[in-house]
């Protein structure tokens, strides 16, 4: 039977000197005894998987609203794709794949219903009351809002996971020495995996839905280049198989570029310890300048064609209107809130309590709640 100590020793032997090691973690805000056969980061991973916020990702919108089709990405499948790409990156760069996986699975926990339009609505509603940001909300969830333990609020995760989720670099309670430095290498890996995952799966979902026409993609040099390679194979492919081939090749090429560019940067800046990477402002985990340029045209395309497609904009605006209506209805009459939220009203600003409540909702729960509040014939 393998013990935690043995796994910790393996980390020391197998990982790079600049990788985070679970045995050298700065620990948890509330002290807890270590687990006999799980490292600190493996334990955090399990805490995320068992959290309510993680389960709710299944019914939260990425770009396409849940009821538009079962095969589109949701926040849950997006998070799994991010985690999968991030683990590959971490393994090749000899970074801590366990830590990377926790940060990846938790990175979108703070998103409210209806994707970015939901976030925009909450940000507007919270103006003057402390604001709203999904990155900070993820930290609120793991530090405060999840209720699973009798002796502390939240999930009491290790410092390295909380610091990795702290993309805004705000001061966090329990900091061993300030969060003013850069993200850790493991957190940088997740950030890039997030970007790689969403551009490619949005492209995939965009083509599947018909909102993106393949001919229009010919304007993107990176796409054109790979399309030529696929054509050279002389295989007779239907639309679907060609799409998967294209996207698979794009991801592979992007990930490979990132691995080479990151390896070079780590060497050039003589990164030896995790703290070396956090002490400099330049990101070590970054694409080559060529790939950055090539990706810029892809991102502009996605923005113009998909994220600003009239169907996406219509749904986004609808979501914004009805989340606003929900928020205002609760604020007018906070007694409508469920027990747990009502208890918090005694000591906290109702805006924050309502914001946390709405941000925690899945798309379908928010729609159901809207029906209950505004349609006389709906149940209570
Ligand atoms: Mg994401």
pLDDT at position 71 is 75
Q: If DSSP codes are grouped into helix, strand and coil, which group holds residue 115?
A: helix
Average pLDDT, the chain: 94
For 2, counting Cβ atoms within 10 Å of its Cβ (0-12 exposed, 13-18 middle, 19+ buried), the class is: exposed
**Distance, CA 370 to ligand 1 centroid (Å)?**
26
Segment 180-205 shows an average pLDDT of 95
Residues 6+ apart with CB under 8 A from 30: 151, 152, 156
Task: List C-alpha distances in Å: 370 to 20, 62, 252, 253.
Answer: 45, 20, 43, 44
- Residue 158, helix vs strand vs coil: strand
CA of 333 to the centre of ligand 1 (A): 34
| Ligand 1 centroid from CA 108, angstroms | 5
Per-residue pLDDT averaged across 22-48, rounded? Answer: 97
Q: Between vectors from CA 303 to CA 299 and to CA 306, what angle results, nearest 5°? A: 115
Task: State in Å: Cα 106 to ligand 1 middle.
Answer: 9
Long-range contacts, stretch 363-371, CB < 8 angstroms, 24+ apart: 363/59, 363/60, 363/61, 363/65, 363/66, 363/113, 363/114, 364/59, 364/66, 364/67, 365/59, 365/113, 366/113, 366/114, 366/322, 366/323, 366/326, 367/322, 369/326, 370/322, 370/325, 370/326
- Residue range 133-185, pLDDT digits in tens: 999 999 999 999 999 999 999 999 999 999 999 999 999 998 887 556 999 99
Locate 278 and state its tokens: 């956090």
């Amino acid at each position: 039977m393998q013990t935690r100590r043995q796994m910790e020793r393996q980390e020391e032997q197998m990982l790079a000197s600049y990788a985070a090691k679970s045995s050298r973690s700065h620990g948890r805000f509330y002290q807890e005894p270590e687990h006999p056969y799980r490292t600190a980061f493996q334990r955090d991973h399990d805490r995320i998987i068992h959290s309510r916020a993680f389960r709710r990702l299944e019914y939260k919108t990425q770009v396409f609203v849940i009821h538009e089709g079962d095969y589109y990405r949701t926040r849950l499948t997006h998070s799994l794709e991010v985690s999968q790409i991030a683990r590959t990156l971490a393994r090749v760069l000899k970074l801590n794949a366990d830590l990377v996986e926790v940060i990846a699975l938790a990175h979108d926990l703070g998103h409210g219903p209806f994707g970015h339009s939901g976030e925009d609505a909450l940000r507007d509603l919270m103006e003057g009351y402390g604001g709203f940001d999904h990155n900070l909300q993820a930290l609120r969830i793991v530090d405060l809002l999840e209720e699973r333990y009798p002796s502390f609020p939240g999930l009491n995760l290790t410092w390295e996971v909380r610091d990795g989720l702290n993309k805004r670099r705000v001061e966090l309670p329990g900091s061993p020495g300030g969060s003013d430095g850069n993200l850790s290498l493991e957190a940088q890996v997740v950030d890039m995996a997030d970007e790689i995952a969403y551009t490619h799966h949005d492209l995939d979902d965009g083509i599947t839905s018909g909102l993106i026409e393949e001919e229009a993609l010919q304007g993107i040099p990176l796409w054109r280049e790979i399309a030529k390679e696929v054509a050279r194979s002389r295989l007779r492919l239907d639309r679907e198989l060609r799409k998967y081939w294209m996207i698979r090749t794009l991801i592979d090429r992007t990930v490979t570029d990132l691995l080479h560019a990151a390896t070079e940067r780590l060497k050039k800046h003589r990164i030896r310890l995790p703290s070396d990477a956090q002490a400099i402002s330049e990101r070590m985990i970054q694409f080559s300048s060529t790939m950055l340029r090539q990706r810029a045209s892809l991102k502009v395309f996605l923005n113009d064609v998909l994220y600003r497609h009239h169907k996406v904009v219509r749904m986004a605006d609808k979501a914004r209107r009805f989340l606003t209506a929900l928020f205002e209805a609760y604020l007018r009459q906070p007694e409508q809130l469920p027990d747990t939220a009502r208890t918090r009203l005694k000591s906290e600003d109702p805006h924050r309590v309502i914001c946390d409540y709405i941000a925690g909702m899945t798309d379908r729960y928010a729609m159901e709640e809207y029906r209950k509040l505004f349609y006389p014939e709906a149940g209570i």
